[in-house]
Amino acid sequence: MHPVNWIILVVYLTYVAVDGLRRARRAKGLDGYLLANRSLPWWAVGLSVMATQLSAVTLIGTTGQGAVDGMRFVQFYFGLPLAMLILGVTLVPFLHGARVYTAYEYLERRFDAKTRSFTALLFLLSRGMSVSTILAAPAVVFSSMFGWPISWSVAVMGVPTVLYTMFGGVQAVAWADVKQMVLVTFSLLAVIVVLLVRIPVAPDDALRLAGAAGRLQVFDFSLDATKTYTFWSGLIGGTFLMLSYFGTDQSQVQRYLAARSVDEARTSLLVSAYWKIPLQALVLLVGVLIFVFYLFRAPPLFFNPADARQVQHAGAGSFMRLEARYGAAFAERRAAAAALAAAGGRASGGTAATAAAAHAFQVSDSAVLAVRGEALRLAERATGAPARDVNFIIPHFVLTELPIGLAGLFIAAVMAAAMSAIAAELNSLATATVIDFYRRWVRPVASDAHYLGVSKVATLFWGAFACLVASYAATLGSLIEVVNRFGSFFYGSILGVFILAMLPSARAPGAFVGLVAGMTAVGAVSFGAPEISFLWLNVVGAVTVVAVGLPLSFLARARSGSA
C-alpha cells in the first residue's frame, strides 16, 4: 500500500483513539461509564445506533453480497420502519422509564431472577459470537493486504481495540460513532463516483448490464420459506428480528437508555427507521457497480490471494489451465457486455437486438461463474475449508483500483467502523456480565470503583473470546449473513419474553418455560430443517415463547387463585 494511504490510515485512527480517551475522562462513576449519565442528545444516539450496524461487516460483507447477489439483500430491512414505530410506543418507554442499566434487569422486576439471567445469558452468547464476526471483517482486509493468516490479522485489530474499550465508555463510543458515520458515508459516495468514472460505459448502460445479470432485482414475492431474501421474509421475519435487536439487545438498548428522555430515545430510533434502508441500498449499489466494473477489467480468479496460493501450490498445472479457461470465458463476457451496452444505446427498433445481446451476455456470465465455481471447489479441496471469497471482493478493489489517498480513506473507514462497533459490542457485553450476573449473584454490594474494575476485566474476557472465534467466522461466507444468522438463532425467543413482559396476564413460570420452549423450537427448526431461511427463526422463537408462556401463565394464576 502506498505510504500516503498509510499516513491517512494512521492519522485518522490515532485521532479517533485519542478523542475517545479524552471523552472517556468525562465518564465518572458507573452511571457515567455505562450510560453516559443519560445525557446524550437524540441525534448522537441515532447516529450511534446506525453506526453500530454500519460496521466493517457492512462495508466488506454487504458490498461483496451486492457484487455476487445484487440488491435483493435490501429486502432484509423492510421490517425496520415498522419495528421502530412499534418500539417507540412499547419497549422504549418501558425500559427508559424503569431507570435500568440493562434490558434484562426489567425482566426480574416483571418476572423473576432466573428469567432475567437466562435471557441475559442468551444475549451474551448471541452478541459474543456476533462481535467475533465484526472483528473478522477488518481481519479480512489485513489478510488480503499483507498475506497474513487470518489469526494474525485478528490480533492486529483486536488487541488494540480491546485495550481501547477497557478505558472507554458509552459516551466515548457514541461520539466516535458520529465521526464514523460521516467518514463512511463520504467514502461510499467517493467510491461510487470513482466507479462511474472508471466504468467504460454510460451509467444507464452500466445499470442495464447489472439488470441483465440479475443484480438489480430488489423485490421477490416468493412464498418459499427456503429463500433467504424475499419481500415476506424481510417484512415479517425482518420485523421480528429488528424488534428483538433494537428492543432487547443490550448493544442497542444501552444507546437509547443513555438518551436524555423517552422522547429523545424515540426520536433516535426514527433516525434508523428513515435512513437505514437508503444507506443500505447505497452500500449494495457499490457492490453492484464493482460487479459491472469487473465485466470490463479482468478480476482475479480468486479474490482471496491465500486461496490462489494454496491452489497453485497443490497443482501449478491445474491452476494454469483453470486460469486460461477463466481468461477465455472473461474475454467472451467482456465482448458480450460491450455488445449489450451498444445495443441498449441504439435508437428505437433495436428491441430484438437488445434481447439477443442480453441473452448472449447472460450465457457468457454463466460460463464465467461456472469456471469460478470450479475454482472455488478446487480451493476447498486444497485448503480443507470453505472457499467463499465474497468477503475479499471489496478489499481487492480498494487496494488495486482506488486512487492514492482514497484507498487509505476507505480503509480508515473500515478500521474506524470496526473499532467503534467492536467497542460498542464489548461495552454492552461487559455491562450485561457485570450488572446481570456479577452484581446480581456474586457481589450485590460494592463500590462503583469495584464494579468499574470488574467491567474492564469482563471487557478483556469478551475481547479474547471475540478474537478466538473471529478466525473461524471469517471462513463462513458472507460476513453480513453470518452476523444475522448468529443473532436470529436467539433473537426471536428473547423478543417473546419481552412481549410477555408487556402483557399484564403473563406470569414468571410461563415466561421462563416459554423461553426454554422457544429456544428448543428454534434449535429443532434450525438443525432439523436447515434449508429454511434463518429470518423465519425469529418468528418461530417469538411465537413459540408467547404461545407456550400465556397458557402456562393462566394456569399459574388459576393455581394461585389470583384474578
Residue pLDDT, tens place only, 504-529: 999 999 999 999 999 999 999 999 98
Q: Give the model's confidence band at 141: pLDDT under 50 very low, under 70 low, under 90 confident, else very high.
A: low
Distance of CA 405 to the CA centre of its chain: 27
**Fold designation for 3-295+398-560:** Sodium/glucose cotransporter (1.20.1730)
Q: Which residues of 431-461 are buried (b: 16+ CB within 10 A; e: fewer)?
A: bbbbbbbbbbeeeeeeeeeebbebbbebbbb
Q: Give the model's confidence band at 346: pLDDT under 50 very low, under 70 low, under 90 confident, else very high.
A: low
Share above pLDDT 70 across residues of the chain, in percent, rounded to a whole number: 88
Share above pLDDT 90 across residues of the chain, in percent, rounded to a whole number: 27
Average pLDDT over residues 119-145: 81
Q: Give the model's confidence band at 348: pLDDT under 50 very low, under 70 low, under 90 confident, else very high.
A: very low
Indicate whether 432 pLDDT > 50: yes
- Return the top range by mean pLDDT from 38-42, 305-309, 393-397, 500-504: 500-504
Q: Give the model's confidence band at 362: pLDDT under 50 very low, under 70 low, under 90 confident, else very high.
A: very high
* pLDDT the model gives residue 311: 84
Indicate whether 184 pLDDT > 50: yes
* pLDDT the model gives residue 522: 95
Q: Which residue has the cell 483453470?
A: 322
- What amino acid is encoded at 220 in this protein? D
- Cell numbers given for 156: 492486529
- Cell numbers given for 406: 482514497
Q: Which residue has the cell 477463466?
A: 326
Q: Give the model's confidence band at 23: pLDDT under 50 very low, under 70 low, under 90 confident, else very high.
A: low
For the beta carbon of residue 63, count every other beta carbon within 10 angstroms. 27
Average pLDDT, the chain: 84
Picking from 474, 501, 299, the residue whose alpha carbon sits closest to that of residue 388 is 474
Ramachandran region of residue 29, left (φ > 0), alpha (ψ -120 to 50) or beta?
Answer: left
Distance separating the N- and C-terminal Cα atoms of the chain: 71
* pLDDT the model gives residue 170: 67
Asked whether the beta carbons of 431 and 475 are under 8 A apart, the reply is no
Cα separation, 470 vs 118, in Å, equals: 25
Asked whether the beta carbons of 31 and 251 are under 8 A apart, the reply is no
* pLDDT the model gives residue 347: 44
Q: pLDDT tens across 213-263, in order? A: 989 988 888 888 888 788 888 889 888 888 888 888 888 888 778 788 888
